[in-house]
Amino acid sequence: MRKIGNVALGVITSIGGFVEVGSLSTSAQAGAQFGLRLLWAVAVAAFILAMLAEMCGRLAAVSGRSLAAAVRERLGFHFQLLLLGAELLLDFLLLSAELGGVAIALQLVTGVDFRWWMVPAAIVAGMILWFASFAVIEDGLGILGLITLAFVVAAWKLRPEAGPAAHAFIPSLPEHDLARYGFFAISIVGATVSPYLLNFYASGAIEEEWSEDDLWSNRITAYVGMGFGAVVSMAALVAAAQVLAPQHIRVDSYEQAALMFLPVFGARAVPLFAAGLLVGCLGAAVEIALNAGYVFSQGFGWRWGANKKRLETARFSAAMMLMLAGSLAFALIGFDPLRVTMISVALTVIVLPVLVLPILVLMNDRQLLKSYTSGRVGNVLLAVLCVLAAVLALIVVPFEILGA
């Protein structure tokens, strides 16, 4: 029973996938404009992320290698450099947006312009990264993440009709704004299945010294953890559909998104929304910066680990701190965090095929996974996902332009 508590790894990973600036904004926008129709997209994204996380956790538990390390070893350093460059570009933009999300959350409760909160947000993230062990990061941010259940409470109190809600899990086309609907559906997948989440999850499994005996708990961790994030993301969409859609409010700012809490929480609406946004974005910022240290170190064969003293892993520590500092500098230029988020989501969809194909190869490598390679069902699902990812990569930019 010793690993059942490690569902926290799944929860903190799901915070980065579902309860951060990208997912909350896309869920709120989708609910405000299309009601409950896009619940199916959140469910699909949750299944994809949970399936890939389980595979990466299995890889780590059996082989002792993270996704980045396995790609370098089995597919070559040059291919690893391609993945490293793509992932770091995405991480750079996402981390800038997450710092902006923390700053906007603080603006909502203080009235002070979010730009003044950028540096304090980065300092707090930096202190967590420098002083905290992986267990403290995992458990601390996982517990704080429970504040996001306020979205679930809001959705429950708003009492959506069961029939339409159930029907929304079956894909259907809207009567208007088809291009925008398509872009939101694609964006929900892009905001959820971020490449850094998979390597972070695998690296976390190694930090916790998982072995073949922990494969059963890996499945629980992956699916229950991602399920937590999916429920919160669906709740945000439902709340926006119940409150914002009837008033024809298009979510162009987080101040507008916070209005979804107003009928349920009254005077506490904005502070609760801000708390959920702050915790989600701070958790994602720490994950992204930490993963930058992971992928650099694993790609170049450096010593790494959040459980080691930072000065003993100097290059690992420098990589995550430089990523944090660079993203802060970019955020301070003054770009709209919401716009940066949507750009990074589109780029994530574009690089998704390059991420999924190596997983298909690795999950059939018996030298790495012994008898735990993917079966027929797993391979079929990954093959379908590869094709789907390629299609989405081709259409995301046209949909974004037409749906703007």
What distance in Å separates the CA atoms of residue 39 and residue 165, rounded to the nearest whole number? 8
Whether 185 shows a pLDDT value over 50: the answer reads yes
Query: What is the structure's pLDDT at 131?
Result: 94
Whether 403 shows a pLDDT value over 80: the answer reads no
Query: What is the structure's pLDDT at 166?
Result: 93
Please return the burial class of 30, using the count of CB atoms within 10 Å of its CB with bins 0-12, 13-18 and 19+: buried
Whether 1 shows a pLDDT value over 90: the answer reads no
Query: What is the structure's pLDDT at 346?
Result: 83
What distance in Å separates the CA atoms of residue 23 and residue 46, rounded to the nearest whole number? 11
Query: What is the structure's pLDDT at 117?
Result: 95
Q: Tokens 């460059």 map to which residue? A: 85
Task: Out of 333-337, 370-374, 381-385, pick the least confident.
Answer: 333-337
| Angle ∠(336,339,343) on CA atoms, nearest 5 | 140
Where do the DSSP E strands lie in 73-217? none
Task: Out of 19-28, 68-77, 181-190, 285-294, pick the least confident.
Answer: 19-28
Whether 2 shows a pLDDT value over 60: the answer reads no
Average pLDDT over residues 128-151: 88
DSSP states along 246-270: GGT----SHHHHGGGGHHHHGGGHH
pLDDT classification of 4: cutoffs 50, 70, 90: very low
- 234 or 191: which leads in pLDDT: 234
Average pLDDT over residues 116-124: 96
pLDDT classification of 8: cutoffs 50, 70, 90: low
* Residue-wise pLDDT tens digits, 225-264: 888 889 999 999 999 999 999 988 888 777 888 899 999 9
Query: What is the structure's pLDDT at 355?
Result: 82
Whether 371 shows a pLDDT value over 60: the answer reads yes
**Homologous superfamily (CATH) for 4-403:** Amino acid/polyamine transporter I (1.20.1740.10)
Where do the DSSP E strands lie in 279-391? none
Helix, strand counts (H, E) of the chain: 19, 0
Whether 297 shows a pLDDT value over 90: the answer reads yes
What distance in Å separates the CA atoms of residue 22 and residue 313, rounded to the nearest whole number? 31
Whether 17 shows a pLDDT value over 70: the answer reads no
Computed over every residue of the chain, the mean pLDDT equals 89
Query: What is the structure's pLDDT at 47?
Result: 94
- 14 or 285: which leads in pLDDT: 285
pLDDT classification of 5: cutoffs 50, 70, 90: very low
Average pLDDT over residues 346-367: 89
* For the chain, domain boundaries: 4-403
Query: What is the structure's pLDDT at 6?
Result: 60
- pTM reported for the whole predicted model: 0.91
Whether 121 shows a pLDDT value over 90: the answer reads yes
Average pLDDT over residues 156-171: 92
Residues 202 and 66: beta-carbon distance below 8 Å: yes
pLDDT classification of 193: cutoffs 50, 70, 90: confident
Average pLDDT over residues 311-317: 94
